[in-house]
Amino acid sequence: MKAKNYLILCAGVTVVTAITILFVPGVSDTIETELLTFLSTNAR
C-alpha cells in the first residue's frame, strides 16, 4: 500500500469514527471503554 492511499484510509476512518461518535448514541461509551481497556492493558 502506498503512503498516499494509507493516509487517505486513515483520514477516512477518522472522519467516520468522529461522525459515529457524534450522532450514534451509546457508541462513544463503547469506544471509550475499549480504548481505556487497550491502554491499561498495554501501558508500562
What per-residue confidence (pLDDT) applies to 1?
Answer: 81
Amino acid residing at 20: T
Q: Which three cell numbers stand for residue 16?
A: 467516520
> Domain segments of the chain: what residues?
3-42
How far out from the chain centre does Cα 10 lie? 10
Tell me the mean pLDDT in the region 7-20: 95
| Cα gap 25→36, rounded to integer Å | 19
Greater pLDDT, 43 or 42: 42
What per-residue confidence (pLDDT) applies to 28?
Answer: 86
Tell me the mean pLDDT in the region 13-27: 91
| Cα gap 1→23, rounded to integer Å | 31
Rounded to the nearest 5 percent, the helix, strand and coil shares of the chain are 85, 0, 15
Predicted structure pTM score: 0.63
